[in-house]
Structure 1
Amino acid sequence: MTRIAVLSDIHGNVLALDAVIADAQARGCDAFLNLGDTLSGPLWPVETAERLMCKDWPTIAGNHERQLLTLDRARMGASDSHARDVLDERHLAWIAAQPPVLEYSPDIFMCHGTPVSDLEHFLHTVEPTGMREATGAEIAGRAGDRHEAIVLCGHTHLPRIVALGDGRIVANPGSVGLQAFDDDRPWPYRVEVGDPRARYAIIENGRLEFVAVEYDHEAAAAKAAREGRGDWAEALRSGRLTA
């Protein structure tokens, strides 16, 4: 019987990653999937890459992987530029080999945002007034003609599962490495999970369980602060953003 651990949005938080791996293994998981945005951030991009490169998990690229490989250094945000400055050619080659989507099995499809975009939110919708949970009709439209019973996505850092009318399930495991952030595309919005624990999900027999794991988030927050990222420090410490 296969128990699959589903991880997303690690963002270079190797402390959270190690805690999730240990927890998943203790729960009997014998396969791991990674939905992208693995390295970018002010934490430990190199250590995270080294931890994962030897594991050969099915891994897809998120928007941050694409940005690391395609944007000029001057156009990168602070999280991407920090990662790009410390990663070497081996790490970049590993990123470059990651596909944007993956048909993991006849029943499981992996994407970061949606099947057609690494920036579009699948289970949430961003409007001028902020972000809200997407409706079933919106989600079904984004799923399109994907036939798999389980469609996995990341990007929002928010755990959510939605069953569509035709029986398909669309699920986001939440973020391993960062429980709050803000963005301005296509309009300004904030994401706040509300506590600092690392998130992942487990799939077994077509059912999905969300898991939250304690780790040394104060050490991660201290690292972010040393790198001049007070916004990350607060998000890692509390799962919330400063006012």
Structure 2
Amino acid sequence: MKIAILADIHGNLPALDAVLADLAPRGIDLTVNLGDIVSGPLFPCETADRLMPLGLPTIRGNHERQLLTEAPERMGPSDRFAAGALRADQKHWLAGLPATLRIGDDILMVHGTPASDLAYFLETVDAAGVRAASASEIEARAADAPARLILCGHTHTPRIVRTADGRLIVNPGSVGVPAYSDDEPFPHGVETGAPHARYGIVEITPAGLAVDLRAVPYDWEAAAAAAEANGRSDWARALRTGRV
């Protein structure tokens, strides 16, 4: 069985279309979506319209929760842009998405960690910045989540970790945004250093689990130009360079 893992699309329709084209000939049995789907200064409505008919197993991210529940004046600019653009039927679709989702007995989909859509799973942020989380930190965040394969997003950072008890945790990276900055819990930046759209493929075989973390070229200049047209030069730089 081959599972394609999408996460953190953030309304970047050109990147999403490139990823869907890349995975199409690869014998994928199931494609899943780990949330943060539309928020950002790009193409929120068009991205929702592209995904809704596909019926992919999909969970919500922190940005879906925020743009549906917070008052506009309390939203960040990315959520506010998406919330103002989305139609009622698109918001209804987002509102119906679960926070986590199990597929069979062996696969768990989360956005951040099993307990929180805002927590980093495979990275840790402290006063020095962001770093790869230690084995003990990851074990604590995984807790007793009963799944051989845990799929997470949120940090936009492709990474694979196997816990001491044999569970595999996979972050495929971000389809739509290769770099960002955040102020919580300490100011930090996350950078992949390249503008490509990212996703993952997990193949489940009798011999075990094999992971392919993929980086896909697309027209990131078109995405960056859309960000600039919507007043977000910070996004334009991230989209062009993979740097904040």
Alignment RMSD: 0.7
Q: TM-score, normalised by structure 1?
A: 0.97
User: How far did 1:3 drift?
Assistant: 1.4
Give the match for residue 94 of structure 1: 93
Report the residue type matching 2:94 in the other structure.
Answer: I
Q: Deviations 1:66-90 (Å, cap 9, x if unpaired)?
A: 0011100110111000000110110
Q: Percent identity?
A: 55
**CA offsets, 1:84-135, max 9 Å, x none?**
0110110110000100001122111000000010000000001011111001
Structure 1 residue 209 displacement after superposition: 1.1
AA at the equivalent of 2:243: R
User: Structure 2: 5+ residue runs without aligned partners?
Assistant: none
Partner of 2:224: 221
| Partner in structure 2 of residue 26 of structure 1 | 25
Counterpart residue number, 1:209: 212
- In structure 1, give the amino acid aligned to 2:237: E
SS at match of 2:234: helix
Query: Which residue identity does 1:121 align to in structure 2?
Result: Y
Partner SS for 2:54: coil
- Rounded to whole Å, the distance in 1 between the matches of 2:37 and 2:94 is 9
Trace 1:9-24 onto structure 2 (pairs within 5 A): 9-24=8-23
In the alignment, the residues of structure 2 paired with residue 197 and residue 49 of structure 1 have an alpha-carbon distance, to the nearest angstrom, of 21
Deviation of 1:30 (Å): 2.7
State the partner residue of 2:61: 62
For 1:191 and 1:23, the matched residues in 2 are separated by 25
* Alignment match, 1:139: 138
- Distance in 2 (alpha carbons) for counterparts of 1:195 and 1:27: 24
What is the one-letter code of the residue matched to 1:161? I
| Deviation of 1:194 (Å) | 0.3
CA distance in 2, matches of 1:9, 1:120: 15
- Structure 1: gaps of 5 or more residues: none
Residue type matched to 2:132 in 1?
E
Moved beyond 2 Å, runs of 4+: none
Determine the structure 1 residue equivalent to 2:233. Answer: 230
CA distance in 1, matches of 2:96, 2:152: 19
Shift of 1:222: 0.5
For 1:227, the aligned partner's letter is: N
Letter in 2 for 1:229: R
Q: Write out aligned runs for 1:175-186 (5 A).
A: 175-186=174-185
Give, in whole Å, the separation in 2 of the partners of 1:209 and 1:135.
Answer: 23
TM-score scaled by length of structure 2: 0.97
Local SS of the residue matching 1:54: helix
Alignment of 1:64-79 (within 5 A): 64-79=63-78
- Tell me how far apart the structure 2 counterparts of residues 75 and 124 of structure 1 sit (CA, whole Å): 27
The count of corresponding residues between Structure 1 and Structure 2 is 240
1:45 matched residue in structure 2: 44
Report the Cα distance in structure 1 between the residues aligned to 2:141 and 2:71, rounded to whole angstroms.
30
Q: After superposition, what is the alpha-carbon deviation per residue over 1:135-157, rounded to whole angstroms, capped at 9, x for unaligned?
A: 11100110011121111110000
Look up the equivalent residue of 2:192 and give its one-letter code.
V
